[in-house]
Amino acid sequence: MRFGTYLIPQSPVPDEDSVVIDSTLAEVELAEELGFDTVWLQEHHFGGECAYADPLVFGAAVAARTERIKIGFAVIQMALHHPVRLAEQTALLDNLSHGRLIVGTGRGTVVNHFEYTGFGTTMDKSARMLAEAEELLVKAWTEENIDFQGEFWQSSMPMLRPRPYQKPHPPIVRASISEESIKAMALIGRPVMLGPVGDDILESRVSLYKKTLGESGLSTQEVDRVYDQVWVAKKVCIAPTETEAIDTARAANRWSMELTNAMRRRHNPPEARPAELAPDAWHDLGDSFVVGTPEQVAEQISMLRDIGVPNLMLTFNLGNIPRATVERSMRLFANEVAPEFAQPREE
């Protein structure tokens, strides 16, 4: 299995943004030091749900401060970007990082309506925009003398410069929630990212993806290669004792959910407010976390591996967990958990 650190640094007030951003960069450097495979960057705007907001600019800072770790987006909200501009930015970042970029795409948030209106669009268009944006993105990376006439974007251009460092282009991984999306991605041989859900649901989705991938017409070698790029998101908290780990995770989860609820109440229109997250619900912690001592976390990850999960993107820095506690959790994971799942590293 591969392990990445998934950065979702929340900032409760604007005055704390700079401190949170600096702390997140320090977490990136520690992840590189500890041997994590990938650092995954999120995109959220206006509410402090992700302090650095723009994963492309932040990704350039990550590329400058690291030498080995891959840089993945989880995800780029495709409806909020012009695909040609995105192609240019990602091609540059792929060159700056010497081919360490993974482009995770998705329609965008399905709950934060204010993010769409801030960029002059609406949530109901985002699913159709996603497919068109991906098509133009790949054309810009790989073709010349483009004449693209879509529903949302039109582009006539000679050739994108710089070309991506990776050939033919950086890998694309699609965030998928529904079974329909999972099957559609498998049929075209597109790796997916799956969010934190209960293990029964996760096993069903992983199995569906792998079964459908086998029906895609790809060779056995290609099926294995694509499946090896699937990632599953989990939150993680490791401590010397189970009690400390659970208490820390519960408190951070509650803080995070309360901040998110308040943001959506404040910024979403009344008719668009989703049902609020339940901070005290134990099942929320159980579905989304791996938590406990290093031995307990290793056992939980073994169960995930056994149901077919190939790679994990792990959020250590959740809510208001102190930086020292986050770093201790990362070190415990890297030193006492990850070695049990080691595999040869790609050169």
Digit-coded pLDDT (tens) for 226-270:
999 999 999 999 999 999 999 999 999 999 989 999 999 999 988
pTM: 0.94
Contact 193, 229 (CB under 8 A): no
Angle formed by the axes of helices 294-306 and 199-214, nearest 10°: 40
E strand or H helix at 155, and its extent? strand 154-159
Angle formed by the axes of helices 199-214 and 179-187, nearest 10°: 30
List, for residues 194-229, the tens digit of each pLDDT value.
998 888 999 999 999 999 999 999 999 999 999 999
How far lies 228's CA from each of 63, 90, 316, in Å?
A: 24, 22, 23
Rg (CA), the chain: 20
Superfamily of domain 2-341: Luciferase-like domain (3.20.20.30)
Q: Which residues contact 191 (CB under 8 A, 6 or more apart)?
A: 171, 172, 173, 174, 185, 226, 227, 229, 230, 231
The residues spanned by each domain of the chain are: 2-341
Output DSSP code: residue 346. P
DSSP conformation letters of 252-293: HHHHHHHHHHHHHHHHS-GGGPPPPP-TT-HHHHHHHEEEES
List, for residues 278-310, the tens digit of each pLDDT value.
555 544 566 789 999 999 999 999 999 999 999
